[in-house]
Structure 1
Amino acid sequence: MTSFNRSTSRRLKKLTQIPSVWEGDRRPLSSSHTQYTDPESEGECILWVDASQGVVRGMDMVDAAIGPEAIVRTLMRAMEHPQSPGKPARPQRIVVRDREIQFYLRGVLQDLDIAIDYVPELPLIDELFRSFSEVIDNQTPDLPPQFAKVLQEKAFAMWQAAPWDLLEEQQILSIEINKWDVGTLYASVMGMLGMEYGILLYRSEDSLKRFRSSVLRNEDSTQHLEEAFLKQDCFFLTFESDEDDDDEDDLQDLADLPISGILPTFGNIHPLEGLRVVLYDEEALVVLVALEGILRFLRDHRRQLYADVFPPLSHRYRIPLPETVDENAKSVSVTVSTLPELATELEEMTEDLEDEDEEEDYESSAFQTLRDDLIPEDSFLSLGVVSWEMLEYLRHGVTYHPVGEIKPVGDGLPVVLIQTSRPKAKTVIESLEAAGGLRGICFNPGADPFDGDRYDLGLLQTKNSELFLFGEFLDDDPIHVEARRKWNQRCKNTKGYCGLIIAKGLTGSARGNPQLRDMMALFEARSLSPQDLGIGTLQLMPQLELD
């Protein structure tokens, strides 16, 4: 048995011994709301009270698996550093209701001249624990007990269904319920960007639009974003890591965690209520029915939703209600539908604001004779090759603009790949199509007379003869030099044919490595030499000019 150091015993014996009887015990804090929690995770409360004065001297919450040493540690604090209004002291007598605790304390405290006795009941502690239980029972649980288990099961089923692999935030599903004072909910899925995962169930289409518009217009203002967040009118299911991690450098995508490390959270947001992580009975039932409807819809239409185009789909389901629902009806009918027109409207809302930003950027651009307003500044750019097999897939699977008959010679078609966000990618594609398509891709020399740097400038020439800058590369960068060497060799193999691929997914898990489903357009073109353009070395003066 562990005992005090002699120095500790001497220190404790110096405390004034008062003629008091102290009660001590450790018990779990039980509640009817904890029926779905893991019993192994429950804690115990250790209490030491001065029964003579009726005050609590020490209290701790500990894991149930911690040994009897914990009750001694709390007792030491109760003696040396008691809670107010107690003063440092040691009692004449201690009473406990557990024989094992009695024998343990007798061994540990034998040098402190404290009597350790057993009693079957501890009146003051019993009363305190009754009060604690009442407080806990009067607290509103996060989820109604009759729905808690099934809602947790639906949450984990939703995590495994991973709707964010299929739907972007603006691709909204409607869930028509028409029950419990709820008409239609509008589900927006978070998670395709690999950041926050969850589902927002808006009570109205207007609330969804207002929030999205507010976020887009105030994305740099923390105060306005918080205000916009609290003005939403929706239910939510979000997913977080079940582990506490304060080190931001160690944060990882939740999708990389096992399901045992995922913690679902339900709640409600309303302009007049704010945020609460509590669902009441009818709310929980509405969310349960909506989640089940979405799960069935994802199961039945996964292949169609995986397509690049958001398709018009609708499916009616009869969803059984839990037995705990006190109604004659044993099921409810819901209709789950995609809303392509709303998705287009939300995308255009984004594009309009981006067009305004890009117009402002262009007006202040240093480039005047050479346009640089086609490719978004934050795009990912790479020079590479597409195998002939993949090229055939792209020709039939994405927006395709051919240039002529290309013979499959070498390892594939040399391509420039531009990866950006989906709305911006659509804008690039539409701009190229409006200019008649792509005529050629060229790497032209450029120079900065101020610092002497020389550049290899990537240019796109459209069929209306406009030139667009897509990249600036230092001509002595070894990585670019090697990429250009391969580009030139591949273009030689294909007799001067090459291509431009526009892809989405810039901020998602596919950043820098877009998959086939991320590729949106293929423009075949000719590889042009600087002599073909005949514009000489482009110089930054402060603007690029033709010399």
Structure 2
Amino acid sequence: MRLPTATIRRLLNLPQVADIWVGGGRSLNSDNDEVFCAAWLDPKEQLVRTMEIRQFPPTPEQLMRLLVQAIESPHHPQAQPCRPHAIIVDDRELQFFLRGVVAPLDIQVEYQARVPLLDDFFELMAAEVTSDDPDLEGLPREYVPLYKRKIRELAQLDIWRRLNHVTPFKLHCSSWDCPTLFAVLVNPQGASRDFGLMLHRGEEALRNFWQQIDQEDPYLDEEDDDRLEETVLRNDCLFLNVSEVDEADLDNDLSFVLRGHAYTIEVGVVHPLEGIRHFYAPEEAEMVYVAIASLIKFWKKTKKQFEQEAYPELNLRFQIPSPCHCALSYQVQVATAPEMMPGIDEDTEESQSLCQIPIDTEAIPEEAYILFKRFPPKELGELQAAVAYHQRGEIPEEFKGYPVLTIQTKKSAAAAIAAKIAEEGGIHHLTVFPLSGPEQIVMLLAQTNANHLWLLDTFDAESGSLLLDWIKEVNDLDGACGLAVAYGVTGKTRRQPTLKQIVGLFETSLVFSFVDTQRPPTPQPIEISKP
């Protein structure tokens, strides 16, 4: 993975100093919840150039994003934008990752097993620390009136009301740093008048975006800010949002009036290694302006064809003059991309194809309970030793609770289910499949290593809260989870089976919206120790 060309060019324009910076991340061991701090320090100037506190361990990508901020927009008011001669980290994996990414910036990456300055700094960070984002202009000054006029023209075409949010347009211009962009409309939701445009940098970026939307976003809690942020930061795109504001906010340079309503423009860039940046560099502002102008011309010429056909196959070329350089123009090819639609509309296609795969709807008795359990390390060890059927899987070395989906039924049925799973080579993975339709039904499935699909349960919008909470716990362990089979469906232990009543534990993983019946059966060894 590499930084965008425009970002590399922008950072190379900053002066390089002989200083050596140090950076890394640590757990702060908060009294309430475990929190983590990541930072880049300048020992010579005795400055904290960037710092971030969050609820998850910092990843190499996050530390790279912070390094870009440390170079370009340091948080400390006395720090000037510049590139260091070298950086020192105390993590080998981070060193290898950063070496490849910062090579174009002429920055050396060194490793030390222990960096005393970092240790001392993180010891001081026991309390919550905040830092404000730098106050940056979203657009270069000369582009502000141009954008307001061009976006008002685009908005008056009302494309957002005519096309859905999975209708991409392919824009190609050999003069751009990223020659091919895929433009996707962000539609108004409900009574909202807000709208937007996302310009994904390449086909892979667009496919990755829609894959995460289809497979992950339905299971994310809107209040889980850290995980939502990590999902957003996997994108690689330029974005432009147009949001309705109060008339009192019209003094903002990027505000304008459209059809009697006040709006403001927000621009930005998202990249896995750079993070979210709320401004355009001049070449990015030029590129996005040309892209918008191309879309306007394309829609005016093809509007009637879209009225006759939902998504016609079209390919047109336009010459767009530069808004700021009178001697410069761009040849832009704008096309629909029907070949991308099957990949983008994957949720519907997978739901339809899933209906064609045989699913055993009677594997789990009707009188069974589906329980969402969580076992601390000690209890998990006791459970592993107690069950008659055990499938070993990959369990993180450190965890607070191991999520186990537990089927509780009658004693004879529990024994039969555990034996059947063992006969089919154990559980390959669990999966959650949202089905299209207003009912928002979600199927919870298990695929055995004999490539059979077992329907464990179905959930609707009202009954799915427990499933969503359990999925969040599984996500915290990178998908690791277990499937257990227990008895005791009546009596005092109903919904609370004891360790003695759990007859089988199958350690596996959760993979969203995924079924693979084309691979050969891959039975796993099951430890059987019947009493």
TM-score bracket, normalised by the shorter chain, equals 0.3 to 0.5
TM-score, with length taken from structure 1:
0.37
Look at both structures and tell me which one has the larger radius of gyration over its CA atoms: 1
